[in-house]
Amino acid sequence: MKRPNRIAGQSGHCASFRSRLSLLLANFLSGCVNRFFYIACVENASNRPILEAFHRLLFAFTEDTYAALPQRLRCRTMPHLQVAPAKLNLFLELHGTRPDGFHEIETFAVPIDYCDTIEFEPDGGNAIHLRILKDVHFDETEIIPDGEANSVCKAIRFMQRRYLETGLGGQVTLHKQIPSQAGLGGGTSDAAAMVLLIDSAWNLNIPRSELASASAELGSDVPLFIHSRPVVCRGRGELTEPIDALPPLHFAVLVPKFRLSTAVVFRQHDLMEHTPPIRVKSILEAARTGDVEKIAALLFNRLETAAFALCPELENVRKTMEQLGPLAVRMSGSGTTLFALCRNRKEAEIIAGQLKERNLGVAFAAVGGNLF
């Protein structure tokens, strides 16, 4: 095996000692920055590019040694971090049932700056050690799959099986903030984030379109998150169309204390009569022009009727949110999260504060759009 290049002007032993010491120090500093990175990104996702650049600068002083290492060893010398954003469905329509049993969907979704975060420290082995840290506002009664059943571990095995021959074991820390079964895509976003992390850390440079299509086997919503930007999804979710030049949108988001199963909501939908399906084109045109009031008028979710039939209390909560004066209120995904589209950040923060005072669930202000 080819040895790493020696640092000019130093003996092999001295260079080796300096290399090890440099990488050890870099790892320590990286760990410190990762903690800061997690906190700062959760508070404001726009901090991410600055913090990523600072993270890279930590390794400038070991550039010659680090660059000489094989890629396999480079990945083992530092931890990696990836943000997993929640999403809101601004438009969701169903166009019947496919031969494979899935529904033919058409949805327009935006990522928001409310995130889970994944830290991965690979060790070159095969065993995955998953640690889950829940946010202080996370409902402790919610059960998050552990071990190989977790979407993050499934994503690691997917990438190992499809793109890499080397072991992808190591320590994975999942900082969990996004509630489950809420229509925010928490589990699928975690899977997509792990796919993107491995693609970046191992310099695989797989086209996003290929990753989006292939990762559909991890879940119908996973391709939505692969692009890390607003996207239209069709088929069962695997056909993606990224949307650029979308202005920031401001939301007050409420995750009620009660939940609905996605499967149950879809079954209820199939039992009900519906108006003819509509297309996403109109709201996309409004989004591209930045006309927030027009976007508000075109928000749509076909599953709302089914969710409200199953849980009338959810419809009552929506009416309460509408009385607070936003442009519009809609449900995200199959529920039960409700979001209010607001005129600006200040209005979103005020409405989120009012929802917190009413103790209706977890409420927060969020920005959606081309954030990541």
Q: Provide the pLDDT for residue 40.
A: 55
pLDDT digits (tens, 9 = 90+) for 169-212: 899 999 999 998 899 999 999 999 999 999 988 889 999 999 99
Does any domain span residue 73? no
Does any domain span residue 305? yes
Distance CA 198, CA 156 (A): 8
Furthest C-alpha separation in the chain:
79
pLDDT > 50? residue 238? yes
Q: Which of 242, 258, 276 is where one domain is finished?
A: 242
Tell me which residue of 34, 35, 21 sits closest to 66, measured CA to CA: 21
Residues 23 and 117 in one domain: no
Does any domain span residue 320? yes
Q: Provide the pLDDT for residue 19.
A: 46
Q: Provide the pLDDT for residue 20.
A: 46
CATH of the domain at 138: 3.30.230.10
CA-to-CA dists, residue 340 to 176, 296, 299, angstroms = 23, 9, 11
Percent of the chain with pLDDT over 90: 60
The four Cα atoms 120, 147, 100, 109 give a dihedral, to 10 degrees, of -40
- Domain total in the chain: 3
Q: Provide the pLDDT for residue 26.
A: 52
Domain region containing 296: 249-368
Distance CA 156, CA 154 (A): 5
Residues 85 and 234 in one domain: yes
**107 prior amide bond cis, ω within 30:** no
With residue 353 as reference, give the H or E element that holds it: helix 345-357
Residues 124 and 217 in one domain: yes
Q: Provide the pLDDT for residue 168.
A: 87
Q: Which two tokens stand for residue 83?
A: 């943000």
∠ at Cα 306 (303, 310), nearest 5°? 135
Does any domain span residue 139? yes
Q: Which of 242, 269, 287 is where one domain is finished?
A: 242
Tell me which residue of 182, 194, 197 sits closest to 253, measured CA to CA: 182
Distance CA 231, CA 336 (A): 21
Residues 58 and 177 in one domain: no
Burial of 80 (0-12, 13-18, 19+ CB in 10 A): buried
pLDDT band at 142 (very low <50, low <70, confident <90, very high): confident
Q: Annotated catalytic residue: which of 2, 87, 244, 319?
A: 87
Our answer to whether residue 346 is catalytic in this structure is: no
The SS3 of residue 147 is helix
Residues 350 and 283 in one domain: yes
Over residues 291-306, the mean pLDDT reads 97
Q: Which of 42, 68, 94 is where one domain is finished?
A: 68
Whether 24 and 61 have beta carbons less than 8 Å apart is answered as no
Residues 178 and 95 in one domain: yes
Does any domain span residue 3? no
The model's pTM is: 0.80
Q: Annotated catalytic residue: which of 2, 221, 257, 356?
A: 221
Residues 116 and 178 in one domain: yes
pLDDT band at 123 (very low <50, low <70, confident <90, very high): confident
- 290 versus 174: the higher-pLDDT residue is 174
Percent of the chain with pLDDT over 70: 77
Over residues 7-20, the mean pLDDT reads 42
Residues 111 and 226 in one domain: yes
Residues 102 and 232 in one domain: yes
Place of tokens 């998050």: 144
pLDDT > 90? residue 115? yes
Does any domain span residue 37? yes
Residues 286 and 226 in one domain: no
pLDDT > 70? residue 12? no
Our answer to whether residue 319 is catalytic in this structure is: no
How does DSSP classify residue 287? Answer: H
Over residues 268-297, the mean pLDDT reads 93
CATH of the domain at 363: 3.30.70.890
Does any domain span residue 269? yes
Q: Provide the pLDDT for residue 287.
A: 92
Does any domain span residue 1? no
Residues 102 and 203 in one domain: yes
CA-to-CA dists, residue 213 to 128, 208, 209, 220, 223, angstroms = 25, 9, 6, 10, 7
∠ at Cα 261 (229, 222), nearest 5°? 25
Write down the H helix ranges in 216-261: 222-226
The four Cα atoms 303, 42, 151, 179 give a dihedral, to 10 degrees, of -40
Distance CA 288, CA 242 (A): 12
CA atoms within 13 A on the CB side of 308: 14
Distance CA 40, CA 33 (A): 10
Residues 153 and 185 in one domain: yes
